[in-house]
Amino acid sequence: MDRIVAVLDEDTALGFRLSGVEARKADTVEELQERIGQLFNEKDVRLVIVDEEMVRRLPEKLERRIEHSTAPLFLPIPTVKMWRGAIRPEEYAARLIRRAIGYQIKIRR
């Protein structure tokens, strides 16, 4: 049976556990790297939810592998730290757009 696994910090992982998703703790980039290596070998894992901020701090080769992987598919998300105001919404939106289209934009109000 196909599985969804969340690899996140403890606070964010708790929310996924409460909704029935298998969650594995990764509070550091090294832990995330180790968990991702394990997940590439688990053939029944189809979707892996990961901390967007920590993915950007992984070695470039692994980050590219994650971006291009389809089995499992990796879904980077903002975590509780970001929701609590660690980053302004405008900065977050600009970063997503820059990553998607390859251009820096400035959001004005």
pLDDT in tens, 38-68: 999 999 999 999 998 899 899 999 999 999 9
Contacts of 105 (CB under 8 A, 6+ apart): 94, 97, 98
Tell me the whole-structure pTM to 2 decimals.
0.73
Specify if 71 maps to a domain.
yes
Specify if 55 maps to a domain.
yes
Residue 71: in which H helix or E strand, if any?
A: none
- Confidence (pLDDT) at 109: 62
Number of domains making up the chain: 1
Q: Which two tokens stand for residue 42?
A: 């688990």
Specify if 108 maps to a domain.
no
Q: What tens digit of pLDDT does each residue of 57-97 get?
A: 999 999 999 999 999 999 998 876 655 556 666 676 677 67
Specify if 23 maps to a domain.
yes
CATH of the domain at 21: 3.40.50.10580
Contact 37, 30 (CB under 8 A): no
Specify if 106 maps to a domain.
no
Whether a cis peptide bond, with omega within 30° of 0, leads into 59 is no
What span, in angstroms and rounded, lies between the C-alpha atoms of 98 and 95? 5
Specify if 57 maps to a domain.
yes
Specify if 109 maps to a domain.
no
Coil vs helix vs strand at 81: helix
Closest CA to 55 of 42, 43, 39, 66: 66
What is the domain extent for residue 26? 3-101
Contact 44, 70 (CB under 8 A): no
Specify if 107 maps to a domain.
no
Q: What tens digit of pLDDT does each residue of 14-35 get?
A: 888 998 999 999 989 999 999 9
